[in-house]
């Protein structure tokens, strides 16, 4: 991508930082615009999202938009435009909520039954899933 991706967001939205990290990891030129400080940007986001101030909202150089994307949706959109994201697919799989749920269940059962194997597996799954979330 030769031009910048515009990322509309707010400092309080927890979804903005992972989007920005993904763009940085893929070495994609981008510009972050805080819609709380720029009324024109706020109006643009409302226009894009049918009256909703949903963030993050991305506008690609080709004019396409993406609102509140999951990690997988963002990676797919970037790869469709020729970007390469290092470790992207692996991180997305490890971030899957099911991994955290299974890890929590294993840990809970292991603790109640005093089963060190279940405790270890549960703890490992939680650590891997949380680590992947921090990585994105």
| Structural contact between residues 61 and 3, judged by C-beta atoms closer than 8 angstroms | yes
Question: Which tokens is 35 given?
Answer: 């819609």
Question: Which tokens is 40 given?
Answer: 């024109």
**Between vectors from CA 75 to CA 6 and to CA 41, what angle results, nearest 5°?**
20
| Structural contact between residues 56 and 8, judged by C-beta atoms closer than 8 angstroms | yes
The dihedral through the CA atoms of 124, 91, 7, 73 has a sign that is negative
pTM of the model: 0.65
Classify domain 5-85 by CATH architecture.
3-Layer(aba) Sandwich (3.40)
pLDDT digits (tens, 9 = 90+) for 84-103: 776 555 555 566 677 788 88
Phi, psi of 91 (to 5 degrees): -65, -40
Domain spans, the chain: 5-85, 93-135
pLDDT digits (tens, 9 = 90+) for 30-79: 999 999 999 999 999 999 999 999 999 999 999 999 999 988 899 889 98
């Amino acid at each position: 991508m030769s031009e910048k991706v515009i990322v509309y967001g707010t400092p309080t939205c927890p979804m903005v930082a992972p989007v920005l990290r993904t763009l940085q990891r893929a070495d994609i030129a981008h510009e972050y615009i805080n819609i709380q400080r720029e009324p024109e940007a706020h109006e643009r986001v409302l226009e894009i999202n049918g009256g909703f101030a949903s963030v993050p909202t991305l506008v690609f150089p080709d004019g396409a938009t993406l609102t509140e994307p999951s990690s997988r949706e963002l990676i797919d959109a970037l790869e469709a435009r020729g970007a390469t994201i290092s470790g992207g697919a692996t991180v997305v799989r490890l971030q899957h909520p099911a991994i955290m749920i299974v890890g929590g269940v294993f840990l809970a059962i292991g603790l109640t039954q005093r089963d060190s194997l279940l405790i270890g597996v549960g703890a490992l799954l939680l650590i891997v899933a949380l680590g992947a979330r921090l990585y994105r």
